């Protein structure tokens, strides 16, 4: 009988010193984020931006001084504390701050922001029952026409290894091990080919993670009061054709949508 893979508790995982330190070392925008913010363009300078699920501040350096007002928020208080320490110089500017906030019930007034960025698949951690609530909360705190930018795990990727671009032998071995653990602790969920979305226990991320087909990702986002939706792959390329979206195998997908006016 295979030995069970221990899955750490979500709060314990993201509040641990090791994970906080690892997240606090990250500082680069991903290619789809770069492409989306280039598209948002000059209007960013006059925007109030909510960096939701900010973690250790990966996106802070690239965005905090490019917008009029910046708020980094995370449900994990240790992550927020790490950001305050890491960006103590930036915090001398009163228009830059960090706060603890839960995406499912944000302590911000309606129509407070021009942009909400919910990156690194943070929405996949709120739970399947609360996903629509989190999207609705993003819509609530955005002004009409405001930008929502977020990423989500692609269920297509769990169907096949074809979407993996190996970065050497170590990456190959690490990913194979992760894949095997995922299949073992979630064996009761397979086959998944007909599923539009699924929650799977993740041995590396403190609890469960949500995976979704690109077509369903579009549907859920539009259903919560968004429009003008665009999908981006991890190379920063827009994927507009429905058939290309259905075949997209990247491990996760980026969404750029506008709050309905």
Taking alpha carbons only, the member of 154, 173, 150 closest to residue 224 is 150
In a domain, 168, yes or no: no
Instruction: Look at residues 232, 224, 219 and name the one whose alpha carbon lies nearest to residue 36.
Output: 232
The β-bridge relationship of strands 48-52 and 69-74 is parallel
The reply to whether 197 falls in a domain is no
pLDDT at 135: 98
Looking at residue 2, its pLDDT comes to 35
Question: Would residue 214 count as lying in a domain?
Answer: yes
Strand partners, 151: 254
Dihedrals phi, psi of 162, to nearest 5 degrees: -60, -25
Phi-psi bin for 206: left (phi > 0), alpha (psi -120 to 50), beta? left
Sole residue written with tokens 């403190």: 206
5: in domain: no
99 — alpha (psi -120 to 50), left (phi > 0) or beta? beta
Phi-psi region of 109 (alpha: psi -120 to 50; beta: other; left: phi over 0): beta
pTM > 0.75: yes or no:
yes
In a domain, 115, yes or no: yes
**CA separation for the pair 167, 210 (Å, rounded):** 25
DSSP helix/strand/coil, 238: strand
Residue 193 parent element (H or E): none
Taking a C-beta distance cutoff of 8 angstroms, is the pair 115, 47 a contact? yes
Q: Residue 184 domain-assigned?
A: no
Domain count, the chain: 1
Q: What end-to-end distance do the CA atoms of the chain give, in Å? A: 56
3-state secondary structure of 35: helix
Nearest alpha carbon to residue 204 among 221, 217, 185, 223:
185
In a domain, 172, yes or no: no
The per-residue pLDDT for 164 is 57
Q: pLDDT tens track of the chain, all 261 residues?
A: 333 434 445 666 777 778 777 887 887 899 999 999 999 999 999 999 999 999 999 999 999 999 999 999 999 999 999 999 999 999 999 999 999 999 999 999 999 999 999 999 999 999 899 999 999 999 999 999 999 999 999 999 887 655 556 666 777 777 777 777 888 888 888 888 899 999 998 877 667 889 999 999 999 999 999 999 999 999 999 999 999 999 999 989 999 999 998
| Residue that has been written with the tokens 């653990």 in this structure | 181
The CATH number that applies at residue 28 is: 3.40.50.150
**Whole domain around residue 215: which residue ranges?**
11-156+207-259
């Amino acid at each position: 009988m295979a030995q069970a893979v221990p899955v750490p508790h979500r709060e314990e995982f993201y509040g641990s010193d090791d994970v906080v330190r690892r997240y606090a070392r990250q500082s680069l925008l991903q290619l789809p984020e770069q492409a989306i913010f280039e598209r948002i363009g000059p209007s960013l300078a006059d925007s109030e931006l909510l960096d939701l699920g900010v973690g250790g501040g990966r996106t802070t350096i690239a965005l905090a001084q490019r917008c009029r007002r910046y708020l980094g928020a995370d449900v994990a208080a240790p992550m927020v504390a790490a950001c305050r320490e890491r960006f103590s110089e930036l915090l001398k500017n009163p228009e830059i701050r960090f706060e603890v906030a839960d995406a499912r019930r944000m302590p911000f007034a309606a129509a407070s922001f021009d942009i909400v960025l919910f990156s690194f698949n943070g929405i996949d951690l709120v739970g399947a029952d609360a996903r629509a609530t989190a999207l609705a909360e993003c819509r609530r705190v955005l002004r009409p026409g405001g930008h929502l930018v977020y990423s989500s795990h692609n269920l297509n990727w769990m169907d096949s290894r074809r979407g993996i671009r190996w970065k050497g032998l170590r990456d190959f071995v690490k990913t194979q091990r992760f894949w095997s653990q995922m299949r073992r602790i979630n064996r009761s969920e397979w086959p998944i080919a007909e599923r539009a979305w699924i929650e799977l226990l993740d041995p590396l991320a403190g609890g469960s993670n949500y995976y979704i087909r690109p077509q369903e990702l579009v549907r859920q986002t539009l259903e919560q009061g968004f429009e003008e939706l665009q999908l981006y792959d991890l190379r920063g390329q827009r994927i507009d054709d429905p058939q290309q979206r259905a075949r997209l195998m990247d491990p996760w997908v980026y969404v750029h949508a506008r709050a309905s006016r």
